[in-house]
Chain A
Amino acid sequence: MLLAIAWRNLWRNGRRTVIGAAAVFMALVLSLLMLSMKYGSLEQMVSAGVNQVGDLQVHSAGYFENKSIDHAFFDNKNVDVTFKKIPEIKRVVPHLETFSLASYGKQTKGIMVSGIDPKLEDIQSGLSKKIIKGHYLEKGDEVLIGDNMAEFLKINVGDSIVLLGQGYRGITAYGIYKVAGIFHLPSLQMNSSLLYMNMQDAQSFVYPYQKGLLTGFSIYLKKTSQLKAVQKQVGKDLGKDYEIIPWQTILSNLLETVATSKAGTQVFVLILYVVAAFGIFSTILMMTMEKRKQYAVMVSIGMNRGRLVWMSILETFMVSIIGVVTSLAVASPILFYMHYHPIPVTGNLAEMYLQYNIEPVMPFSVSPYLFISQTSIILILSFLSALYPVIYVLKFNVLNAFRH
């Protein structure tokens, strides 16, 4: 019967209840739309990052902290076998990276040599589509360099580049390679200091005496939710000579940026919630004032204040739950529609997106976290608003309430 009284009390003055619920509705719908858009583009950024570095990276222990070629290891096939046994793994991309000096004519520059499997790399990052001059890696002793590096070294497609660097176990790495193509990637740093070559070439550049030297593997998973499990499994199988680094650690800077950006939006959204809180609170305030006499009658005839507290809490929550349910009913279809049919980005912006290997669309997030967090904020606000009637109900003087 408490529930019935609470519910019917709401509709005694339906317009006011609707105003309170509408404040919640407005705040929640707007904040969901705004945050969904924001979260969506951030999620897009993160997934582009993960696409680049892999869900997990395997190195020999210590490499992540100190990226020296001396932390390289020989791919003795054990590692491959381990990966093959784990069905959750979609793809494994090997890496060999080392610092080197590159010279052409009178120019010399410090660069990063990256050994890749041309096919795998192309599948993973679409590198062949980023070549702006010349062609993609086809045969041995060829390299790809960035446009800024080519400009600096005054080198062109077809010219030979001389590399001199630190090899494995203190040897000197040395080689002459033909520039097959010049690429343009989104980052200036990559364009001015990254050089790609065939994995076999890179391996013999760094250590010609034994095949199979690597600095690491990037592991791509079928489902990101399996990250923890696979990380544990790989760690167990490979033993303590290897380190398994999740993308969250590798991209920790990006994640920090994302968190800051989310927080910034949330602050703006807070303003909406102040409106919602005001709406709920004023509704509740008026409802309580109006029911002073009803409450007084109930306590006079023997209803204890504890039950009355429950009743007033119910009333408050019903107002906000009406707001929450209607907002979710309105906002979720929109968000899900936008999530599956994102707004296309056009023009220069679209090009920039493509350079970053990001699909040129504005995605909307439908992450459960979004819904849960925003709904919880509303519920917390209603809880705070409910404190007013609760305190009133616990404290009011029955006879004074009758005299009003």
Chain B
Amino acid sequence: MSIIQAKNIYKVYNETHVPVHALNGVDLEIEKGEFTAIVGPSGSGKTTLLNIIGGLDLPTEGDIFIEGTNLKTLSSRQLIDFRLHNIGFVFQAYNLIPVLTALENTEFILELQGVSKKEREKRAMEILKTVDIADKRDHKPGQLSGGQQQRVAVARALVSQPKYIIADEPTANLDSKSTEELLTLMKKMNEKFQTTFVFATHDQRVMDKARRIITIEDGKAVKDETFER
């Protein structure tokens, strides 16, 4: 069974005033271990789709199933809990908690999950080593470069071993070297842990690494290609 199953998704913003039809009937299935990019012109609905996949927003019509759970049936509290235990997030603007160190930012999710202090430090350190930023464990986000912050963000998304990770334009604020490193890292994680990655991106370098590219235009999936890489 696929991890993510989107069925005939419509999303209308501003229903009462000037309605914006952001998604117009998207069907989508994503399998475990995929490394998939959602691409398309600006305003085509990539972010909207990703937010729905990530349980941050609900479709106006249609259903989104995560391993058989219909997100529409969850209360807003349950939805937060669902995100905590199943989904990892990497944002465009890194969005680490500014007052916490790299290590604490990584531990934060585990703390929310109620993991013991010792255990979460161990796991957070491990993952920081894997993303190669362990030497900066005690630095706050303000003291890290964009690329380093984004690696901590990936560590934070990975540390709880979520079913999948969504990343909206994760490389948009990075230079090409950092982009290259981050992509290599995510690919490595994808292969090592079989973690599913779904990106929204404009970035050709991301598309070049993706094994599947879904193109949307005007809120519709118009192309779905797979590549052997």
- Check A1/B104 contact, CB under 8 A, given A300-B56, A302-B81, A304-B81: yes
Q: Which B24-74 residues sit within 8 Å CB-CB of chain A?
A: 51, 54, 56-57
A5 in the interface, Cβ–Cβ < 8 Å? yes
Q: Contact check: which of A12, A305, A399 meets B56 at CB < 8 Å? A: A399
- Check A304/B108 contact, CB under 8 A, given A5-B100, A398-B56: no
Cβ–Cβ < 8 Å partners of B80 in chain A = 299, 302-305
B164 in the interface, Cβ–Cβ < 8 Å? no
A384-403 contact mask (Cβ, 8 Å, vs B): 1 or 0: 00000000000000110010
Surface stretch bound by A, among B90-98, B124-132, B173-181: B90-98
Q: Which A255-301 residues sit within 8 Å CB-CB of chain B?
A: 293-294, 297-301
Cβ–Cβ < 8 Å partners of B83 in chain A = 300-302
Residue of B nearest to A301 (CB): B89
B163 in the interface, Cβ–Cβ < 8 Å? no
A332 in the interface, Cβ–Cβ < 8 Å? no
A302 to B113, CA, bound (A): 9
A297 touches B97 (CB 8 A): yes
B134 in the interface, Cβ–Cβ < 8 Å? no
Interface size class on chain B is: 20 to 34
Most buried by A among B81, B99, B108: B99
- Check A302/B85 contact, CB under 8 A, given A1-B104, A9-B99: yes
A8 in the interface, Cβ–Cβ < 8 Å? yes
Distance in Å: Cβ of B45 to nearest Cβ of chain A: 14
Q: Contact check: which of B56, B91, B97 meets A5 at CB < 8 Å? A: B97
Residue of A nearest to B113 (CB): A302
A52 to B184, CA, bound (A): 91
B156 in the interface, Cβ–Cβ < 8 Å? yes
B109 in the interface, Cβ–Cβ < 8 Å? yes
Cβ–Cβ < 8 Å partners of A9 in chain B = 99
Provide 26 A-B residue pairs closer than 8 Å at the C-beta atoms, listed in order of the A residue. A1-B104, A1-B107, A1-B108, A4-B99, A5-B99, A5-B100, A8-B99, A8-B100, A12-B98, A12-B99, A294-B98, A298-B97, A300-B56, A300-B83, A301-B109, A301-B112, A301-B156, A302-B81, A302-B83, A302-B85, A302-B112, A303-B84, A304-B77, A305-B80, A398-B56, A399-B57
Query: B-contacting residues of A (Cβ < 8 Å)?
Result: 1, 4-5, 8-9, 12, 293-294, 297-305, 307, 398-399, 402
